[in-house]
Amino acid sequence: MKIKLKLAILTSSLILILFVIYSLTQYGLISHWIQQTERNNLKKTVDEVAGYLNEQESENDPADWSSHRQFFDKLVRQDQLFRLLDAKGHVFLEISNGIPAVWIPSSMVKAVQYTSTYHGQDHLLTIRSPIQTLSFTGTIELATNIETADNLIERLNSLIVACGIFGIVFCALGGWFVARQLVKPIQHMSITMNRIKRQGLHERIIHQDNNDELSNLIRVFNEMMDELESSFNRQSKFIEDASHELHTPIAIIEGHLKLIHRWGKHRADVLDESLNAAIQETERLKSLASQLLVLQKDRNIIPLELVAPVNVAEVISSVIRNYRMLHPRYTFLAKLNPDIEICINRDHLVQMLIIVLDNAVRYSGVDKPILIRSQVDNEKVYLQVEDHGSGIPKAELPFVFERFYRVDKSRSRKEGGGNGLGLSIARELASEYLGSVSITSEEGKGTTVSFVFSRTY
């Protein structure tokens, strides 16, 4: 059963139940009010008779009571029967106005009593009340035909039944409409998901922000699809770029192997040149594969409170000593705070420094010093590597952290440049320790790479 039908049945049933309860309650209250009104009218008439008799001074004498009949004739309305019974239960006075006396048998009572009887279609309500005054002792009987009230109640009942039928139809239509409105966003989501399945990730659900649960669900779904599409696009671009980067060294190696196959068997110079080129490209392939693994590896991030702090100055000093041996013609300067510690894996910190220093060496001349600084400001630790090389054009700065992005592409190809993955790896590693990395550069003057971490005590 569809959700729309379930909601329609549920809402219709709920509305119908409430309507039936309301109608029955209203019918019961109005019926009771009508019947109680008839009783009150009878009681009022009986009280008038009792008051009148209480004012009389003569005792029960039919001859004296004939003069009072005019009062009782005016008191008895159409479709009523009035009767006075003496102390022995004999009829003392009887006035019938539309109700035969035989319909109402006389009866003595000791307390006020109401009785309801039917004669065919006539519904009679009778009140019997004892009375004792100076002039009269006995029972008052007053009967009235409440057929009119019954007709009113029957019409009310017919109206309620008609309204009930209309209510059923209205509830069904209303429930269907409410269910349709509630399910419409979900249907749009289903349709959009099918489109995404057939056409791709660019489809989105169009909705109005009504600040309700369904609107929030659609908003979250659209945001999720935005992130998924962005991730998919980045992944596709990464695969395309990786394929492109891997194709170049493989093509070079293939070309030199073919050259060796054709000429290298008999020419030592061709063999030596081709082998050196193949080894160089193989090393490049190994480096590229290693960097790709670093970027794509699902690292289990250890909470910072479980990472042992390291002394920044000691790590930087160790890296600088190694670079001075590897690049003796370059000048490496250090301005370090010896007391700074941060929570980070030592190998990761070394890897970030190597990535930045490799770029500094690659794009700086041997006569220009490379400066490494560490300092503390407002509980933040700043690590900076500053070179005085060629710099980065301002238009290129927003893209330097993208994978495979190289500012000088031709230099990277021909002169042993990087693969454009180093800064991406550095940013990934820094983010694992809630750090950040930024670059400021001026073309022709140099570049400064800054890492920011939280200080550890």
CA dihedral over 321, 323, 325, 330, signed as positive or negative = negative
Taking alpha carbons only, the member of 137, 161, 145, 159 closest to residue 99 is: 145
- Structure tokens of 231? 């991730």
Spans of the chain below 50 pLDDT: 298, 410-416
Residue type, 365: G
- Tokens 């429930």 belong to residue: 175
- Structure tokens of 134? 């100076």
Strand 370-377, strand 332-335: pairing: parallel
Instruction: Give the H or E element holding residue 365.
Output: none
Sketch out the chain's domains with CATH numbers: 3-157 (3.30.450), 214-296 (1.10.287.130), 304-454 (3.30.565.10)
Instruction: Read off the pLDDT of residues 357-404 as tens digits, 9 standing for 90 and up.
Output: 988 988 887 788 999 999 998 889 999 999 998 888 888 888 888 877
Strand partners, 361: none
DSSP 102-127: GGS-----SS-EEEEEEETTEEEEEE
Non-local CB neighbours of 210 within 8 Å, separated by 6+ positions: none
Instruction: Read off the pLDDT of residues 415-456 as tens digits, 9 standing for 90 and up.
Output: 445 567 788 888 888 988 889 999 999 988 899 999 999 887
Contact 403, 294 (CB under 8 A): no
Q: What is the pLDDT of residue 439?
A: 93
Buried b (16+ CB within 10 A) or exposed e, 103-141: bbeeeeeeeeeeeeeeeeebbbbbbbbbbebebbebbbb
Ordered strands of the 122-132 beta sheet: 91-97, 80-86, 137-145, 122-132, 113-119
Strand 91-97, strand 80-86: pairing: antiparallel
Taking alpha carbons only, the member of 398, 378, 394 closest to residue 452 is: 378
pTM over 0.85: no
Taking alpha carbons only, the member of 391, 369, 373, 392 closest to residue 381 is: 373
Taking alpha carbons only, the member of 300, 291, 324, 246 closest to residue 403 is: 291
